[in-house]
Structure 1
Amino acid sequence: MKLRFLGKNSNVGECPTLYSTDRDTYLVQGWKIFANDLLMQLDLCEGQTAVEVPTELFGHLTKDGLPSGDIRRIEDPIMVLTPGGTFVVQGLEVTDPEALSAMDVPDYETVVEVPKAAITALLEDPRGVDLKRRAQPAL
């Protein structure tokens, strides 16, 4: 799998990062989810995992030729908008050694692969769609 760097959330150290691939997918590198209340809200299939990333990370989609990087609706693979203002993104966990060797992924982060079409569909603003599916706060 060949990667094209689109952007990251800061200029120093490791942080959530967005890549485009030659497989018509995006790789989303983000924080592993350890919050049990959040994990219980996710419906992950075998081979899938989820990462948490700042909403601003998707602004880098414009570098892939898209007119906007603003996520306008919450639907798979963007699972929820957390109370902290981050997105939870679900996808196949990346295990490709060549792809992982091209990235700097610290122990507290992981990488998911999602179809480009699934992400770009979230940029649209269809009528009648609930735009804010939020994570339930911990009790």
Structure 2
Amino acid sequence: MKLRFIAIDTGKDGCPTLYASDQDSYVIQGWRLADPASVPELPIQEHETCVEVPARLLTALERPAAEGAGATSHLATGRGTYIIRGPEITDPGTLAQMNVPSHETAVEVPRAHMDDLARELAWPG
């Protein structure tokens, strides 16, 4: 999978990062959740995990192509962050394009699953 850098949120505890992929998806790098099953509002499939990222990172989501609600892969925490679920990135070629510290991981999310959030945070109106 080829990644294109969109944005990074540098801070004191790692660097959550947003990428677009050549698979019509986003790759979102963020803080690893110790227990993804502890978020019952986001049902986790066997092959998925969760990351937490600052809301301000997601203001860089690209303009959605079409109107309409898709499935969602995110949950607002109420603490200025979002929890994002998706398959964990494990492919060595994809990981080689990223700098992922041990307390972080990355998930792939279909672009359509982030469209409503993009409209809300990055492209209102």
TM range (shorter): 0.7 to 0.9
Percent identity of equivalent pairs:
40
Matches within 5 A, 1:91-110: 91-110=86-105
Pick aligned residue for 1:87 from 82, 89, 93: 82
Q: Deviations over 1:85-133 (max 9, x none)?
A: 21000111111110101100011000000001111133346xxxxxxxx
Residue 19 of structure 1: aligned partner: 19
TM score, norm. by length of structure 1:
0.71
> Do the aligned partners of 1:33 and 1:52 also contact (CA within 8 Å) in 2?
yes
Q: Which runs of 5+ in 1 are unaligned?
A: 68-72, 126-139
Residue 38 of structure 2: aligned partner: 39
2:123 aligned residue: none
Please tell me whether residue 122 in structure 1 is matched to residue 117 in structure 2: yes
**SS in structure 1 at match of 2:94:** helix
Residue type of the alignment partner of 1:105? V
Computed over aligned residues only, the root mean square deviation of the Cα atoms, in angstroms, reads: 2.5
Please say which structure displays the higher CA radius of gyration: 1
Aligned to 1:77: 73
